C-alpha cells in the first residue's frame, strides 16, 4: 500500500489512505468495561439492537485499553455517514498500531513516499474506534458504497503494546476527559508519569486483586468484577496512597526498597488489623459506614500518620503480621456505634466529602493517641 513516511525527532510513523473495506478487515476492536452495570450481558441484549450485539462481541481482554464503546454515539455516527453528501465522512485521521515492523520501500526518488507492507496480524485502534465501528455498520447497510470510501490513517509500527497504551493516554488525558480510574489503571504502562504514581498504581492493583487483601474486588476499577459489591473508586484510594508514598518516599526507599509488593504488605496488614478490631462493622455497608469510601479514605490518612511511629513499624517488620496494627487501633472497637448508617451524617456534619473525611480522620486519630 502507498504510504507517506513521517519523521519527528527519533519517532517515525506513516500516513495512509486506507480503503474502508480493507481496513475493517484488518482492525481489532478492543474495549474495557469499568463500571457496575455497564457490561452488556447476553441476557440484556436485544436481538434487534445490532449495535449492542456488535459491542458485546468485542474482545474483553486485559490487553484492551480503549474506553467503553457508546451505543448512542455509534448510531449517531452511522446516521451522519448515511446523510452526509458533500462533506467528508471521516475528515480526521484514525490512529492505528501494530507491534510488527513493516517494510517500507521508497518510490523512485522520493525519500518519504513509498510502498508499505501490511502486518500479518490485525491493527489495534489507538484513536477512532467509534468512527470505525460506525463504518462497520455503514458497510453492512450500504455494501455498494463502501468501495467509494477511503479512511485517512496514521500508523505506528514496530513498538510494544505499552507504546500504544501511552499514545492513548496522551490523547485522552488532554482535550478529552476519560474516567479517572481508567487512567490509574494505565499509569504503570506510560513512560512519562512520575515514579510515585506508577508505584502507587501498582499497590492499588495488588489491593484489588490479591487473595489476602481486605479490599479484594471491593475497589471499583477498570475491568472489575461486575457482580461484586464495590466500596470505593480506584481513583480515590489511589489519591490517598499517592499522598502516603509522596510524603514518605525516603522512608519507603530505605525500609521497603521502593518495592510495590512490600508496600502492599504494609497496607494489607494495617487494614487486616483494622478489620480484626472492627469485625462487627467491617463490610456491613447496609447498617454501617465503616467500609464506605469516606471512612476508607480516612483510614489511609491514619496510616499516613502512624507510618512514622518507629516502634510500631519495627514491631511490624519483625512480626510481619496484622497484630501490631490491631493493638494500636484497639480503641476503635468502642467507636462502632458512631459509624451506624442511621444518623451518620449528623454525627459527622460537613459541607462536602472532603470535610467529612477530615472529621472522620481526626476522630479516629484522636482515639488512638488519646
Domain assignment present for residue 298? The answer is yes
pLDDT of amino acid 159: 79
What is the value of pTM for the model shown? 0.58
pLDDT at 298 > cutoff 70:
yes
Domain assignment present for residue 21? The answer is yes
**Helical (H) or strand (E) element with 152:** strand 150-157
Measured in degrees and rounded to the nearest 5, phi and psi for residue 60 equal -110, 80
Domain assignment present for residue 184? The answer is no
Average pLDDT over residues 138-144: 91
pLDDT of amino acid 63: 44
More confident residue, 75 or 237: 237
pLDDT digits (tens, 9 = 90+) for 246-274: 999 999 999 899 999 999 999 999 999 99
pLDDT at 299 > cutoff 50:
yes
Same domain, 96 and 216: no
Same domain, 277 and 338: yes
Same domain, 53 and 138: yes
Same domain, 200 and 135: no
- Please give the mean pLDDT across all residues of the chain: 83
pLDDT digits (tens, 9 = 90+) for 48-66: 545 444 444 433 444 443 4
pLDDT of amino acid 242: 93
pLDDT of amino acid 109: 84
Domain assignment present for residue 188? The answer is no
Residue finishing a domain among 138, 172, 206: 172
Same domain, 129 and 250: no
More confident residue, 202 or 160: 202
The grid coordinates of residue 193 equal: 508519569
DSSP structure string for 2-66: EEEEEEETTEEEEEEEEEHHHHHHHEE-B----STTTS--GGG--TT-HHHHHHHTSB--TT--P
Same domain, 10 and 94: yes
pLDDT of amino acid 70: 67
More confident residue, 124 or 164: 124
pLDDT band, residue 277 (cuts 50/70/90) = very high
Measured in degrees and rounded to the nearest 5, phi and psi for residue 257 equal 65, 20
Same domain, 365 and 232: yes
The grid coordinates of residue 166 equal: 501511552
Taking the CA atoms of the chain, what radius of gyration do you get in angstroms?
A: 26
pLDDT of amino acid 184: 64
Q: Are 125 and 168 in contact (CB under 8 A)?
A: no
Same domain, 160 and 289: no
Query: How far, in Å, CA of 154 to CA of 160, rounded?
Result: 17
pLDDT of amino acid 171: 63
Domain assignment present for residue 335? The answer is yes
pLDDT of amino acid 198: 86
pLDDT digits (tens, 9 = 90+) for 307-337: 989 899 999 999 899 999 999 999 999 999 9
pLDDT of amino acid 50: 52
Residue finishing a domain among 120, 142, 172: 172
Average pLDDT over residues 154-169: 77
Domain assignment present for residue 178? The answer is no
Same domain, 154 and 198: no
Closest CA to 89 of 100, 99, 78, 74: 78
Q: Domain range spanning residue 116?
A: 2-172
Residue finishing a domain among 172, 202, 222: 172
With cell 493516554, the residue in question is 169
pLDDT digits (tens, 9 = 90+) for 8-34: 877 899 999 999 999 999 988 765 433
Domain assignment present for residue 186? The answer is no
Same domain, 24 and 128: yes
pLDDT digits (tens, 9 = 90+) for 165-224: 667 666 655 544 555 565 566 565 555 567 898 899 899 989 999 999 999 999 987 555
**Helical (H) or strand (E) element with 293:** helix 293-306
Closest CA to 236 of 249, 221, 251: 221
More confident residue, 225 or 38: 225
Spatial CB neighbours of 124, under 8 Å, sequence gap ≥ 6: 27, 28, 30, 96, 97, 98, 161, 164
Domain assignment present for residue 187? The answer is no
pLDDT at 110 > cutoff 90:
no
Same domain, 126 and 260: no
Name, of 64-68, 108-112, 157-161, 344-348, the range with top average pLDDT.
344-348
Least confident of 71-80, 92-101, 180-189: 180-189
Same domain, 161 and 229: no
How many residues does this entry show for the chain? 370
More confident residue, 358 or 36: 358
pLDDT digits (tens, 9 = 90+) for 334-364: 999 999 999 999 999 998 888 999 999 999 9
Number of structural domains found in the chain = 2
Amino acid at each position: 500500500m502507498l504510504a507517506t513516511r513521517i519523521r519527528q525527532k527519533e519517532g517515525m510513523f506513516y500516513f495512509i489512505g486506507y480503503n474502508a473495506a480493507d481496513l475493517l478487515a484488518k482492525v481489532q476492536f478492543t474495549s474495557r468495561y469499568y463500571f457496575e452495570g455497564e457490561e452488556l450481558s447476553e441476557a440484556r441484549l436485544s436481538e434487534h439492537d445490532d449495535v449492542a450485539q456488535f459491542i458485546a462481541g468485542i474482545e474483553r481482554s486485559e490487553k484492551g485499553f480503549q474506553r467503553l464503546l457508546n451505543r448512542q454515539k455509534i448510531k449517531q455516527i452511522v446516521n451522519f455517514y448515511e446523510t452526509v453528501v458533500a462533506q467528508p465522512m471521516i475528515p480526521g485521521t484514525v490512529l492505528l498500531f501494530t507491534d510488527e515492523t513493516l517494510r517500507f520501500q521508497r518510490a523512485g526518488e522520493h525519500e518519504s513516499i513509498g510502498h508499505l507492507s501490511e502486518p500479518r496480524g490485525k491493527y489495534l485502534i489507538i484513536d477512532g474506534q467509534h468512527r470505525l465501528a460506525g463504518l462497520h455498520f455503514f458497510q453492512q447497510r450500504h455494501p455498494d458504497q463502501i468501495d467509494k470510501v477511503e479512511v485517512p490513517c496514521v500508523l505506528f509500527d514496530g513498538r510494544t503494546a505499552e507504546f500504544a497504551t501511552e499514545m492513548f493516554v496522551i490523547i485522552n488525558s488532554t482535550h478529552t476527559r476519560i474516567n479517572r480510574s481508567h487512567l490509574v489503571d494505565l499509569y504503570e504502562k506510560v513512560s512519562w508519569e512520575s515514579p510515585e504514581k506508577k508505584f502507587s498504581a501498582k499497590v492499588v492493583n495488588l489491593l484489588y486483586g490479591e487473595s489476602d487483601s481486605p479490599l479484594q474486588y471491593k475497589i471499583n476499577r477498570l475491568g472489575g468484577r461486575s457482580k461484586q459489591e464495590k466500596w470505593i473508586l480506584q481513583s480515590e484510594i489511589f489519591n490517598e496512597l499517592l499522598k502516603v508514598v509522596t510524603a514518605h518516599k525516603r522512608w519507603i526507599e530505605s525500609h521497603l526498597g521502593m518495592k510495590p509488593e512490600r508496600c502492599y504488605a504494609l497496607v494489607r496488614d494495617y487494614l487486616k488489623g483494622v478489620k480484626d478490631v472492627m469485625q462487627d462493622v467491617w463490610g456491613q455497608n447496609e447498617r454501617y459506614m465503616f467500609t464506605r469510601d469516606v471512612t476508607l479514605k480516612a483510614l489511609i490518612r491514619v496510616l499516613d500518620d502512624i507510618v512514622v511511629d518507629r516502634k510500631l513499624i519495627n514491631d511490624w517488620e519483625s512480626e510481619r503480621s496484622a497484630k501490631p496494627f490491631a493493638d494500636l487501633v484497639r480503641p476503635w472497637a468502642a467507636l462502632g456505634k458512631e459509624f451506624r448508617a442511621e444518623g451518620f451524617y449528623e454525627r459527622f456534619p460537613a459541607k462536602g466529602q472532603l470535610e467529612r473525611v477530615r472529621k472522620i480522620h481526626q476522630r479516629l486519630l484522636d482515639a488512638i493517641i488519646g
